[in-house]
Amino acid sequence: MNMVENHAIIYAENIVKSYETGVKALDDITLSILKGNVTVILGPSGSGKTTLLNILALLDKPNSGKVILDGRDVSSLEEREAAMIRNKMFGFVFQFFYLIPELSVEENIMIPLMIKHPNRPISEHREKVQRILKEFHLEHKLHSYPNNLSGGEKQRIGICRSLICDPEVVFADEPTGNLDRDSSLELISLIQSLNTEKGKTFVIATHNENFLKIATNVIYLSNGKIINRE
């Protein structure tokens, strides 16, 4: 094992991904995601950001190459096992929020906890949700429904949901893609404080160059390859 691998929570080696259409979305990507870093993946539309994020987060599999998570090769896990790892170790934040409209804010945030600890009493989950909402100054939205929230509020609820199981890594795909400028800047500083104050590790795929201000590691993609951009 080399040094890079040692300090990496995720190490991806020689990742190639082609879709059935013949598009080569990723072409020999090797990178490390270091604990406590904010890794920002930048690149034009179609450069492979989402594909890369999904492979690092075990939502998709490469055609070839390896993904090492905490020293363990997870490149060819069964979906069931990958889902368990995602629930235990990862949090997810999405451009379109993906809150469930029929469920309240409390219930939306609680879902990953119920999956992780199905036998614990619901009162314990409730307390956790209330605590995190308070921390994000959203306690008054506990019983609201997603359709009655602003975009910025929805995304902060999305962040609460991503953090509720205390993940090792939070993956965010274009998290400011549906936010106005002020809400975007607010979200970026929220992510920064979660990183600097709580040591949370983030991997963020985005077009938004404002993320460069909080990045500790930047990966530029172009046509499925990592490029150097000074």
Q: Where along the sequence are the contacts to ligand ATP (CB under 6 A)?
A: 19, 21, 23, 25, 43, 45-51, 207
- Rg value, the chain, Cα: 18
Taking Cα atoms as reference points, which of 5, 43, 38 lies closest to residue 27? 43
For residue 62, give the amino acid letter: P
Residues 6+ away with beta carbon under 8 Å from 28: 14, 15, 16, 65, 225
Q: Phi and psi of 54, rounded to 5°?
A: -65, -35
- Please give the Cα distance from 155 to 4 (Å, whole number): 33
Told to check if 50 binds Mg ion by CB under 5 A, we report yes
Residue 65's binding partner among Mg ion, ligand ATP, none (Cβ under 5 to 8 angstroms by kind) is none
- For ligand ATP, give the closer residue by CB, 32 or 51: 51
- For ligand ATP, give the closer residue by CB, 4 or 23: 23
Ranges of beta strands (E only) in 24-152 are 24-34, 38-42, 64-69, 72-73, 90-94
Six token digits for residue 131 = 């605590």
Residue 227's binding partner among Mg ion, ligand ATP, none (Cβ under 5 to 8 angstroms by kind) is none
Residue 96's binding partner among Mg ion, ligand ATP, none (Cβ under 5 to 8 angstroms by kind) is none
Number of residues that bind Mg ion (CB under 5 A): 2
Residue 45's binding partner among ligand ATP, Mg ion, none (Cβ under 5 to 8 angstroms by kind) is ligand ATP
For residue 37, give the amino acid letter: N
- For Mg ion, give the closer residue by CB, 132 or 172: 172
State the nearest-atom distance from the C-beta of 95 to ligand ATP, in Å.
8
State the nearest-atom distance from the C-beta of 228 to ligand ATP, in Å.
18
Contact residues: Mg ion, CB under 5 A: 49-50
